Amino acid sequence: MNKKLFTLLSLLAVMSLALAACGTPAATEAAPQATEAATEAATEAATEAATEAATGGDSVEVFSWWTGGGEAAGLDAMIVVFNGANPDIEFVNSAVAGGAGTNARAVLATRLQAGDPPDSWQGHAGQELIGTYVAGGQIQPLNDLYEAEGWLEVMPETLIPLISQDGNIYSVPVNIHRANVLWYNPAVLEANGVAVPTTMDEWFAAMDTLQAAGVQPLALGEQWTKMHLLETVLLGSLGSDAYNGLWDGSTDWNSPEVKAALDNFAKVLTYANADSASLSWQDAAQLVINGDAAFNVMGDWAEGYFRELGKTPMTDYGWAPTPGSVGVFQFLSDSFVLAVGAPHPDAAAAWLKTAGSKEGQEAFNPVKGSICARTDCDKSLFGEYLQSAMDDWSSNIVVGSLTHGVVANDSWKTEIDTALGLFVADSNVENFQAALVAACASSGPCK
C-alpha cells in the first residue's frame, strides 16, 4: 500500500477511536483536542495523498534557506526547469527563512535527529558537508549520477575534492559565490571625495573621512554577518597564505599577526551602525543602496537582491574585493545532497539532475547572484558584476569561506561563533584571541 494512503487510513482509524472515546466520561476533556489534532493531520494527509494522486504519485521535498531577497527568485527559476522536465513530480519547497541558514540548519538538525530527513537539502561544499553530514552518515554518495550525467567533465576539478571522501562524491554544486565583496554607494563616495579603498589602511582613512562628514561608514547586520566580516578582515590583514594556514594549523592563532588582524576587526566594527544586531543581511545591504551608509561587506547574493530591487550596477551600487584581498577570491559553493533514507529517492535523483544541469544552473545563477559551478554556462546570460566574478574565479587565488562552510566543520565554527558573540559584547581582543586559540585546539587542526 502507498505510504501516504496508509498514513491516511491510520489517521482515520485514530479519529474514529477518538470519536468513540467521546462517549466515556473520563475521555470527555481529552477527546475534543485529540479529535481536532487527528482531523488536522488527516486533512493534511488527505491533501497530500490527493496531490500525489493528481501528479502521478511522486513528490520531492527540497530543503534550503532561500526564501526572499533574490534567493527565492533564483530557486524558483530552477524549479521551473525541474517542473518542465518532471511534470509528474510535485516539488515540495521546504525552505526555512534566515540568512546563511542560521534557522534552517537548526530545523534540519532536529529533523535529521528524528529520522525525518527531507529528500534533498542545501549544504556547503567543504567541511560543512564532509565534517558534518558525511561524518554523520546522513547523505549518500552520488558517483553513479556523476557518471551518468558526465558531471566530472563539467564541474571544476578543484571543487570535487571538497565534496568527496574516500572516492565517493556527496553533493551536486549549483553555484560559486564570492564572500569577499565590498559593496559601496558610488554617489556617497563621490560626494565625500572618497576613492574605493584597496587596503585596510585606505579603508580606515576613507571611513574616517565619511564619519567626519556625518555619513554612516559601514552597514552591518546580525551575528552571522559579523562572522562574514571577520573572515574577510582576517584575509585582508593576513594575506591568502596565512589565512589558509588558520584552517590547516600552519598559522598560529596565538601569533602577533593574528592579534593585529583582530585589532583591525575591532577597529572596523567601530564604524558600523549601532543597531546591527536587529538587521538582516538584506536590511544592511539596503542601507548602502538607499545612500544611508557607504560600505557593506557581503557575499554576492547581495547582487541578486539589488537586481531584484531594480537597481543598476555601477550607478546604484559598486563593488570591489574587500580591502587587502585584491586578486583573491574567497569562495563558497551551495550544493544539494541526497539524504540517507530519502522518502523519494527517484524523485530526489531527478531534482539533483536539474540542479547539476546546464539549463538548471543557467536559470538559477544569473538571478541568484552567483556564477555557475559548471564550467560551460553561457557568459552572456550574466550581468556586469557576475561576468567580472567569472573572470576573477578563473584568474584569482582561491581561498575558502568560514561562515559558509568551506574551511571549518560545524563544531569548530560554533566555537568561533561563541567567541565572536562574547567579543561583540565586550570588545576585548585578548580574550577573543585566547578563545580562538582554544577553539582551534578543541575542534580544529591544533588538537
Residue ranges binding ligand GAL (CB under 6 A):
65-66, 71, 99-101, 177, 299, 301, 332, 334, 404
Provide the minimum distance between the beta carbon of 65 and ligand GAL in the complex, in angstroms, as a whole number. 6
**Which residues does 256 contact at the CB level (< 8 Å), separation at least 6?**
none
Closest CB to ligand GAL among 86 and 370? Answer: 370
CB of 135 to ligand GAL, least distance (A): 20
Q: Report how far residue 105's alpha carbon sits from residue 138's, in angstroms, rounded to the nearest whole number.
A: 14
Q: To the nearest whole angstrom, how small is the minimum distance from the Cβ of residue 40 to ligand GAL? A: 32
**Residue 101 grid coordinates:** 541558514
Cα(412)–Cα(321) distance, integer angstroms: 26
Would you say 82 or 305 has its CB closer to ligand GAL?
305
Q: Which is nearer to ligand GAL, 245 or 299 (CB)?
A: 299
In the complex, minimum distance from the CB of residue 206 to ligand GAL, in angstroms, rounded to a whole number: 26
Q: CA angle, 237 as apex, 235 and 241 as ends, to 5°?
A: 55
Give the E-state strand segments of 42-163 in sequence order: 58-63, 89-93, 120-124
- Kindly compute the dihedral angle of the four CA atoms of residues 383, 389, 395, 397, in this order, to the nearest 10 degrees: 180
Cα angle at 283 between 282 and 287, to 5 degrees? 110
Q: How far apart are CA 90 and CA 86, in angstroms?
A: 8
CB count, 10 Å around CB of 445? 14
Shortest spacing between CB 305 and ligand GAL, in angstroms: 9
| Residues ≥6 apart with Cβ < 8 Å to 300 | 177, 178, 181, 319, 369, 370, 385, 386, 389
Q: Which is nearer to ligand GAL, 216 or 335 (CB)?
A: 335
- Nearer to ligand GAL by C-beta: 215 or 371? 371
Ramachandran region, residue 318 (left: φ > 0; alpha: ψ -120 to 50; beta: rest): beta
**59 or 286: CB nearest ligand GAL:** 286
CB of 99 to ligand GAL, least distance (A): 4
Q: How far is the CB of 403 from ligand GAL (least distance, A)?
A: 7
CB of 7 to ligand GAL, least distance (A): 33
Task: For ligand GAL, give the closer residue by CB, 140 or 282.
Answer: 282
| 131 vs 245, beta carbon nearer ligand GAL | 131
CB of 42 to ligand GAL, least distance (A): 36
- In this complex, which beta carbon is closest to ligand GAL, that of residue 281 or of residue 432? 281
| Cβ closest to ligand GAL, residue 332 vs residue 339 | 332
Query: Of 398, 404, 416, 207, whose CA–CA distance to 299 is shortest?
Result: 404
Q: For the chain, how long is the longest CA-to-CA vector?
A: 82
CB of 440 to ligand GAL, least distance (A): 22
CB contact at 8 A, 174 and 75: no
Q: How far apart are CA 412 and CA 74, in angstroms?
A: 30
- Determine how β-strand 318-321 pairs with β-strand 164-165: unpaired
Residue 402 grid cell: 568560514
CB of 406 or CB of 436, closer to ligand GAL: 406
Q: Are strands 318-321 and 175-178 parallel, antiparallel or unpaired?
A: unpaired
Classify the C-alpha dihedral 310-313-318-322 as positive or negative.
Answer: positive
> CB 244 → ligand GAL: shortest distance, Å?
20
